[in-house]
Every structure is written in C-alpha cells, then in structure tokens.
Chain A
Amino acid sequence: MKRNIKAELIEKKISDGFKRINFSLPSDLKKAIEGALKKESVFLARFTLENILKNNRIAGKSRLPLCQDCGLAVIYVEIGEDINIKGSLTAAINRGVEEAYSSAFLRKSVCGPLTRKNTGNNLPPVIHYNFAKGDSLKIHIMSKGGGSDNKSRLKMLNPSDGLEGIMDFVCETVKKAGSSACPPYIVGIGIGGSFDTVSFLAKKALFRKIGTGNRDKNLNKTERYILERINRLNIGAGGFGGVTTALAVHINSEPCHIASLPVAVNINCHSARSLLLKF
C-alpha cells in the first residue's frame, strides 16, 4: 500500500519554508557566526559579524528579508518509492515558490538570461528529483543568492592532480571570490561524478548543517584541513581581514571515470538560507 501525500500540503510547506528562511538565519549558522565573533579581533570584521547578528534580529522582528537578494529557489527532492502524490508535484512546488515570493514581499530575482526581462514571480525554481527507498518525501529548499553563485567554479582536473590539485583549486576559487560574495562563506565542494553531476554535488553539500562533519573519515579530515587553509587567506568577515573567511567546508563525493577528476566549488554567503521539509 502506497502512502498518499496531497500536492496542496506540499505547496503550503514550500511556501511557509521560503518565508521562514528569508526572515531568520538557521540556528546552526547563527551559532557558527557567534563562534566566529568570539575568535575575531580585527575591528571591521567584528563590526561585520555583530551586524550579521543584528540584521538577523531586525529581520525576524520587522518581517524584512535578511538580504534584498531573496535568491533563486533551489529545491532538491527525495521521493520515497512507496509514496503516491495526489496532484502534480512540480506544479505544487512552483505554486509554493510563487506564493511565498509574492505574499511575503520577497525580491523576484529571476530574468531571461539575454533579454534580462524579469519573470515577475521568481519562477522557475531549479528543481532536482531523486528517488529513495521507503515512504517518505524529503524536500530541501534553498534561497540561493546570485552574488555568491557567481563566484562558484568548476574544473575538470587530471587524475594525477589528486587531493593537492583539488585543494589548490578550492583555495584559488575562494581567493577570487575575495570580498565580493559576502564572507564569511560556506564552501560546498563536489568531487567526482561527471561534468554535469559535480556542480550538483557541490550545491547539495551546502544543504548540510554546519558543524555536522562528513560521515567519511577521510573527507572529514580533508574538510577540516581545507577550512584551515581558507581561513589563512585573511579575507575575513566582510573582506576586511581576520580569522574567519569561511564558517564551514562541506564535501560531497562520488566515483568518476578513470580519465577524470571533476571538482566544483559552490560558494554560499553568510545568509545561507536553507531548510529540510519532511512529509
């Protein structure tokens, strides 16, 4: 017997979710920023971190979005094979996004790539569908800012470049992002797969809660090592120098072709707005 889930419920939860993430920082991120403030001594970096926390209080109280860039809606759906959705899943997701962005006065930031004409409703979102065992539906939602996405990069390395090559590419990418993409950053890294999947791996890594280390022991160690290297770059909060350029490094990895070593780096700003919806 398959479990039934109504499309209307999905629409409602998507809409509520996007409103929620645009008005307050997730608790893991807030904690990470408070931690960074404790360690910081550079005056302007402290000024930035204190203002991030102040901004969070104002946003929650005044119902003003944390950032004017309320993002492109990125949605990752895990569909249990034993569920039956009553109605159209894609239509429900689209309606939920549109409802949130129009009723909560969020900025609509989607336009034609060449015409630059705004679609007016923040549609379409970017949606990834995957199947999983069981009878649950999980929807990860994210409001992804354009400024930080712009600084993300992908490179097809040679297998012999190895871990050193990956780390150099990641640090070079963060250095190029510099002060422009609202540091302190969350750095999502995809390793392996193929040209098309590696960027998805990197973005998916941004959904992981800060402070939850990688389940793979080696990747966990690599994440900590790369984070240390990034934080030695002295870009710092707001780009004014200091000890915290990134709050976290998250890696997602998959097997790849013997000829290849794809790597992607997706940068997220300090307003890293995401949420997991469970059904």
Chain B
Amino acid sequence: MKIHYLKTPVKDNVLERLKAGDIVYLSGDIFTARDTAHKLTCKLIKSGKKVPFNIKGEIVYYCGPAPGIKKGSVGSCGPTTSSRMDRHTPLLLKKGIKAMIGKGVRSDKVIKSIVKNKAVYFAAPAGLGALLSKCIRKSEVLAFGELGPEAVYRFHIEDMPLIVAVDSKGKCIYKA
C-alpha cells in the first residue's frame, strides 16, 4: 500500500503505476455526473451531437452534492453508488475518461473496459460528505443545470482522499 499525491490532468504512466489498495490524495479539476447526466451524455454521444463539456482525459465523480451555503461553495458531497452508472461507463471510457470516483463494486464488463482503456476506478470515503466537502475549493455548473443536484458540476479539489478500488490491470479491492 502506497500513498500518492496527484494533480489533474493525471498522466497515463502515473495512472498505470497505481495499485488497488493504494491511497491517493487528488488535487485539481474534476467533474460530477450521476444517473440522469450519464443517460443524457451517452444519448448525445450516440446521436453524434456535441457534449456540452469535455470528457477526454478527465476524471468523473459520481456525486450529487448538497447545496452550498455561499455561491460557488459546495455542501456535503460524498460519492453515490457507482454500479448504477455501469451501463454507460464503457462508452465514456472509450471516449477518453481516464478515471472515475464513486463507491462500491463495478461490473465485470466495466472492469474489462478499465483494463482496455488503461483507466482507474477510485473509491471515495462513502457516506462522508461533510469531510469531502472540505476538499472542494470551487464549484460551477457545467451542464444540465435544470437537474439540480444531478447537474454536471466542475469541482476544483484539493487533497481529496481516495482509495484505488480497481487499478489499470483490473485488480479490485472490494471483498465478498
């Protein structure tokens, strides 16, 4: 088990060095997307339309934050259950997503796709939204604002504590 301090965008050779069970403190820009945002994004890709935010080389966080008290701030913002995004993940990986942040196991199909695209799946501390909120320095809505907490946000984060749950070789940390 190693501890890494990484900054986005994370280079491929750095991602490939991460091993399941390692702890990562991540800083830089990431974007959020959960159920409906995934559905809408994949619909746009499949119909050949432009996605209103960048995907290539990015890190997606499965999160629907609680509202912040001040403008640009974020309330509690822990991860949601990743497996609900499984059906859309292979397409997004194919389109260039380099890492995902969520909680819980992924399907075999997703793990295969992670290996194929040399990506990484991180677990964020689950159900600990207050703690994670302290890592968000800035937030803005990137797309689908009408979805409220399900909108796509850009987060600027600092030292977000993550665990490598599935590494680029397909090794998974979850038990049972």
Tally of A-B Cβ pairs under 8 angstroms: 150
With both chains docked as a complex, state the minimum distance between the C-beta of B135 and any C-beta of chain A, in angstroms.
11
What residues on B are CB-neighbors of A108 within 8 Å? 148-149
B147 to chain A: closest residue by CB: A118
Let me know if A233 and B130 touch, CB within 8 A.
no
User: Is A210 among interface residues, defined by CB-CB distance under 8 A?
Assistant: no
B residues in contact with A138, CB < 8 Å: none
Query: Do A238 and B134 touch (CB < 8 A)?
Result: no
A179 interface residue per 8 A CB criterion: yes
Structural contact, A70 and B104, CB atoms closer than 8 A: no
| Chain A residues within an 8 Å CB radius of B148 | 108, 118, 120
Complex interface bits, A154-191 against B, C-beta within 8 A gives 1, otherwise 0? 00000000000000000000010011111000000000
How many Å lie between the Cα of A182 and that of B126 in the bound state? 6
- On chain B, the number of residues with a Cβ less than 8 Å from chain A's Cβ atoms is 43
Chain B residues whose CB sits within 8 angstroms of the CB of A65 once the complex forms: 66, 75-76, 129-130
**Residues in B neighbouring A69, C-beta threshold 8 A:** 64, 78, 80, 129
| B-contact bits for A30-50, CB 8 A (1 contact / 0 none) | 000000000000011001100
Contact of A62 among B65, B123, B130, B150 (CB under 8 A): B130
A271 at the B interface (CB under 8 A): yes
Contacts of A239 in B (CB 8 A): 103-105, 123, 126, 174-176
If A69-B80, A178-B104 are given as contacts, then 7 extra A-B residue pairs at C-beta distance below 8 Å, sorted by A number, are A48-B125, A66-B127, A67-B128, A67-B129, A108-B149, A116-B36, A179-B176
Interface, chain A (partner B; CB < 8 A): 43-44, 47-48, 51-52, 54-55, 58-59, 62-70, 105-109, 116, 118, 120, 145, 147, 150, 175, 178-182, 233-236, 238-241, 269-271
